[in-house]
Amino acid sequence: MKSKTSFPPQEGAAPPSRCPDNSAFKQQRLPAWKPQLTIASVLSSFFLTGAFCLTVGVCLVLSANSVREVQIDYSDKCSDCSKLRENSSNWNKECHCSVNFTLKEDILGDVFMYYGLQNFFQNHRRYKMSRSDAQLLGRNVNIQRSYCAPFSTYRNGTPMAPCGAIANSMFNDTIDLFYNHNSSEIQVPLLKTGNSWWTDKNVKFRNPESYNLSSAFAGTARPPYWQKPVYLLDEEDERNNGYVNDDFIIWMRVSAFATFRNLYRRVRRIRHFAEGLPAGNYTFRISYNFPVTRFKGRKHVILSTVVWSGGSNPFLGIAYLVSGTAATLTGFVITGIHLKLRKKKTYFQKQ
């Protein structure tokens, strides 16, 4: 093995320089744009920003106010069913209620039906983590070790499909809409598919591969609060079953706030409802299954249209209006300070 030999520097030789090379990049002589903040540029930026934000804010507020929306709270109107659901032993007993309401004006265009929950906290950390993404991708239905506990397996060892607290607490009220026309009831046709995000339906949720869903979920059991197994969520449409069921996918996207709404159905625009919902008397027929009394919650059903900016939420427009007002007022304040200081400067120069 050869050893490295160091030679002492020769006497009189200059030490190696540690200075950077004499180049434009290393000596920081590259051309650069250095803005000069003059009073004209500062004031113009504030006033232009204020004008832009005020214009966008007014457009957003007007757009949100043009949304037609009907919201009905059926928590008290279905009080008998609510009392029945307070006792968990009555989970297999059906309970139905009806809620009548009147539309004074036509709701034209596409009409969306939402269910709303109040005082239901989905943003709790343990609740939000109580799911198995591997299971929802169809990779392993017999999941054992995950964050789903205590909703992962039953005492006899049978795994739950789907597992977790989010899936177990899925909203399961059934809501139908009827139109009272000429002393007869017409059921409003509702679309139950096509309501979830494309990425969720085609990327994040997959059914296990098998020749049929019942065999794919063999050896598993439904969550404790469910009335049906996961492969029978939609008995009318086989393609809307299992983990790719639209209602299930929408529920699994948890909300950040305690009061929220989720898309439930869309009105199918055919026959009497080709233009939307005509004015008249309507009835919601509800199969009441989801209990809310224990956590002092409320339940709503909402009929709403949408516009280019979304639903009837004016928050974004108000935020733009506040920002634009603040920028404009700041511009006027800076203008006043500048004029005051210029007058003082002129006065002292005359002296």
pLDDT in the model for residue 90: 78
| Tokens encoding 287 | 């199969």
What is the Cα–Cα distance from 72 to 297, expressed in whole angstroms?
14
Q: Where are the domains of the chain?
A: 67-312
Assess whether pLDDT exceeds 80 at residue 348. Answer: no
- Measured in Å, how far apart are the chain's first and last C-alpha atoms? 88
Give, in degrees to the nearest 5, the angle at Cα 228 between 224 and 230: 90
pLDDT at 9 over 60: no
> Mean pLDDT in the chain?
89
pLDDT digits 0-9 by tens, 57-93: 999 999 999 999 999 999 989 988 988 888 877 777 8
Cα–Cα distance for residue pair 29/13, rounded to 1 Å: 31
Q: For strand 69-73 and strand 298-304, is the pairing parallel, antiparallel, or unpaired? A: antiparallel
Burial code (b: 16+ CB inside 10 Å, e: under 16) for 275-294 equals: ebbbeeebbbebbbbbbbee
pLDDT at 176 over 80: yes
Question: What is the pTM assigned to this prediction?
Answer: 0.81
Residue 209: other Cβ atoms inside 10 A: 8
Q: What is the pLDDT of residues 263-313, one digit of tens each?
A: 999 999 998 999 999 999 999 999 999 999 888 999 999 999 998 888 888
The residue ranges of DSSP E strands in the chain, in sequence order, are 69-73, 96-103, 107-108, 112-118, 174-181, 184-187, 190-191, 260-267, 276-277, 280-287, 298-304
Q: How much is the pLDDT for 287?
A: 94
Pick from 34-43, 105-114, 122-131, 172-181: least confident: 34-43
Report which secondary-structure segment, H or E, holds 233. none
Return the pLDDT at 11. 60
Q: Which residue has the tokens 């299930």?
A: 248
Nearest to 225 by CA among 183, 172, 181, 263: 172
- For the stretch 17-26, pLDDT in tens is 788 888 888 8
Specify the pLDDT at position 241: 92
Rounded Cα distance between 140 and 208, Å, is 8
Give every CB contact of residue 63 below 8 A, 6+ residues apart in sequence: 307, 308, 309, 317
Q: Please report which confidence band the pLDDT of residue 210 belongs to, taking 50, 70 and 90 as the band edges.
A: confident
pLDDT band at 248 (very low <50, low <70, confident <90, very high): very high
- Each residue of 110-153: pLDDT tens digit? 999 999 999 999 999 999 999 999 899 988 766 666 788 889 88
Burial of 301 (0-12, 13-18, 19+ CB in 10 A): buried
